[in-house]
Amino acid sequence: MNWVDIIIIAGFIPGIYFGLKKGFVREVMGVMGFILGIIIAINYVDWATAKVTSHAQISTQVVSFLSFIFLFLIVFLSFKILGYIFYKIASLQPLGKLDQLGGGMFGFLQSWFAMGFVLFLLMFLPIGVSFNRSLDNSFFAPILRASIPLVYEESTVIHPDSDSMVAKLKKALLAKRSKWAGSTSEFSEEAMAASDQKLHKLIDRLEKYFGTGDRN
């Protein structure tokens, strides 16, 4: 247990607190938004990245990172808004202790997914070696981070023909960059070489933590 674990434990406190205040219904919608947001973001990150990088000279690592966040937020915020609207239209009255207890439990779950999502996204960023080592040596960080691919892999019943998460991310990261591929300038070649080196390091990290992506 290290300083990362202390931050994670502290991170659960506001989630539980606001869950107790908001109640069961709104927190359930939040958790559903997180789960579906993760599934849809992973399922379409390769498609979104390929679309953007085929028309712009941008690193696939950057585009994958931003596409993942954008797709997730669309779904998550939609569910949060729907939950709020439903709560208001239905004129639901607080159910007392039972409503609070349910809200607190789902607030905890929402905090779990939120921190897992952040830890997962950190893999795309150039964080320092010592910071990365602290994450690896943490008790909670690897568990929370692994919950993101777990949600996707355990939901194949709703996307049976989709590739694994690692395969999806590999496809996104290795998406063809048409403008770069067609450029012969020395700058572009050097930039592509540096970018490719970063991509393969990221792919190595993904395979280290989550496997090769082969479901067979």
216 has pLDDT over 70: no
Comparing CA positions, the residue from 200, 163, 165 lying closest to residue 60 is: 200
Of residues 184 and 93, more confidence is placed in 93
Q: What pLDDT shows up at residue 187?
A: 47
Residue 151: predicted pLDDT = 93
pLDDT tier at 208, thresholds 50, 70, 90: confident
What mean pLDDT value characterizes the chain?
85
Q: What tens digit of pLDDT does each residue of 68-80 get?
A: 999 999 999 998 8
Q: How far is CA 69 from the centre of its chain?
A: 7
What pLDDT does 190 receive?
62
Q: Of 157, 74, 151, 71, nearest to 112 (Cα)?
A: 151
Q: What is the pLDDT of residue 97?
A: 79
Structure tokens at 169: 């991310």
For residue 107, what pLDDT is reported? Answer: 93
Q: pLDDT tens across 139-180, in order?
A: 999 999 999 999 999 998 888 888 899 999 988 888 765 555
pTM: 0.84
Pick the more confident residue, 201 or 196: 201
pLDDT at 183: 52
CA distances from 108 to 3, 63, 102, 199 (A): 20, 31, 10, 34
Percent over 70 (pLDDT), the chain: 86
User: Given a cut of 70, is residue 189 above it in pLDDT?
Assistant: no
Read off the pLDDT of residues 114-123 as tens digits, 9 standing for 90 and up. Answer: 999 999 999 8
Per-residue pLDDT tens digits for 26-75: 888 889 999 999 999 999 999 999 988 888 778 888 899 999 999 999 99
* pLDDT surpasses 50 at 21: yes
Distance, in Å, from the CA atom of 213 to the CA atom of 132, rounded to the nearest integer, reads 22
